[in-house]
Chains A and B, each alone.
Chain A
Amino acid sequence: MSDVADRVKKIVIEHLGVDESKVADNASFIDDLGADSLDTVELVMAFEEEFGCEIPDDAAEKILTIQNAIDYISANS
């Protein structure tokens, strides 16, 4: 579990160029971390690659925070 969280946060830090201190579990990609709609698409692609899973569009639309991502990946990979 913590492994998934660490890997998710690492991807977010790399892709959004944000400071580690801002990457709280409940942080919203768009509202808190400065992402735009294209960034969120890229983030989901990076999650897919890192965890070897496919995240369908309807599920991707609901991944709005770091916790959403951790929960989805933990349940589906």
Chain B
Amino acid sequence: MRRVVVTGMGMVSPLADGVNTSWTKLLNAESGLNAIESFDVSDLPAKIAGQVPLGDGPGLFNADTYITPKERRRVDDFIVYGMAAAQQAVEDSGWAPQGDEDRYRTGVLIGSGIGGLPVLSAGSLTVDCEGGGGVRRLSPFFIPASLINLISGQVSIKYGFQGPNHAVVTACSTGAHAIGDAARLIMWDDADVMVAGGAEAACCRVGMAGFSQAKALCTTYNDNPTAGSRPWDKDRDGFVMGEGAGVVVLEELEHAKARGAKIYAEIVGYGLTGDAYHITAPSPTGDGAYRCMKAAMKRAGMNPEDIDYVNAHGTSTMADVIELAAVKRAFGNAVNDISMSSTKSAIGHLLGAAGAVEAIFSILAVQNGVVPPTLNLDNPDEGCDIDLVPHQAKERKVRAALSNSFGFGGTNASLIFKSFD
């Protein structure tokens, strides 16, 4: 099987626009969570989120950097974030196809969990609400602005990438599945280079209301937003909504070597399973998560003791302890030698972007020999007795990192990234 390496990374996160600034802030234990001010939250039980910091200046997101005002009107925010992260990743990789054959061998696979919820919500009001204007006032861009695969479509058009053009939709495991599936397309020789990841921007009234009604969101830290996301802590009470995008450039090893590309890490493991249990709750046995991690290890040809860091799904919900039990089962005695943290403690839950953003954090942990912290882990819940990297980042050798992502519908994905020497 052809080997696949990571040669470019891009990120738009609640901490910052850009991989390096987000990572630096993450290691400094900074939080990207705030009270929501961009829309009315007075009637919403959850009033905090990890929103992308907008503005001009270092680390702030300015859409004009990535997209013209004309194009901007054709897309919802999740596509803007996805295009921005893709641009960062492509530029970082230095990959610029020189001819048709290069373009045919370069594909895009960027997904989203929900897609254009703000556009869908506003469009519905236009068509169906009295005074909304009716059918004739609906934008001709309503559909292409909200379709999930239009991130991949837009990125391919922008760069002329004419290889596989695909999108994943698996709720909160979207980003991980996208990267795993894209790697397999390269392994199977369908492409040499894939731009892969996830994007999300469902932080709007309808999105907040929907997750609130599903009783999934944190509601007791409205007055103290940075304390809201607290994986494995006894006082956690739900996830904090996040938004943003993570995109990587994946490349066949010899292709990357031949052009002298810098290589961040090798993607060696990918596991996928289904819980077949409940539409929103994970199976209490954690069996789906366990089998998923084992499948990734098997694909990687690795034993638990070969892995040093786990970037947990860890959403700051009751499910945290189920995942931890599954990790203990999957790692056996080696669980006492790993570090595991949840970076959602700093950025909230980016839904379809989470797996991709967390894959990048995992790669950076491997590359830099440091594991990011779990913020707000003041009083670990019962049984949370392994190294969960509370409060502060920790330097340690990370030969390989495993990143977990689990989604509504009982869909699970695990990725393993290994140091490339």
Contact = CB atoms under 8 A, between A and B. Distances in A.
Contacts of B260: none
Interface stretch (A2-10, A23-31, A38-46, A68-76): A38-46
- Chain B: interface secondary structure? loop
B415 to A, nearest CB: 37
Contact of A15 (B68, B70, B144): B70
B68 A17 contact: yes
Interface in A29-63: 38, 41-42, 45, 48-49, 54
Interface in B130-152: 136-137, 139-141, 144
A8 to B, nearest CB: 17
Contacts of A15: 70, 73
A38 B70 contact: no
Interface centre among A16, A38, A48 (most CB of B within 10 A): A38
B58 interface: no
A42 B141 CA distance: 8
A2 B261 CA distance: 58
B68 A38 contact: no
A17 B64 CA distance: 13
- Chain A: interface secondary structure? helix
Interface residues on A, range: 10 to 19
Nearest to B72: A17
B69 interface: yes
Contacts of B141: 38, 42
A48 B140 CA distance: 14
A60 to B, nearest CB: 11
Interface centre among B69, B74, B139, B140 (most CB of A within 10 A): B140
Nearest to B68: A17
Contacts of A41: 140
A38 B69 contact: no
A16 B139 contact: no
Interface centre among A16, A17, A48, A49 (most CB of B within 10 A): A17
A15 B68 CA distance: 11
Nearest to B74: A38
A42 B74 CA distance: 10
A-B pairs with lowest CB-CB distance, top 8: A17-B70, A41-B140, A38-B140, A42-B140, A17-B69, A17-B68, A38-B141, A16-B70
Given A38-B140, A38-B144, 14 more contacts: A15-B70, A15-B73, A16-B70, A17-B68, A17-B69, A17-B70, A38-B74, A38-B141, A42-B139, A42-B140, A45-B136, A45-B137, A45-B139, A49-B137
22 contacts: A15-B70, A15-B73, A16-B70, A17-B68, A17-B69, A17-B70, A38-B74, A38-B140, A38-B141, A38-B144, A41-B140, A42-B73, A42-B139, A42-B140, A42-B141, A45-B136, A45-B137, A45-B139, A45-B140, A48-B136, A49-B137, A54-B136
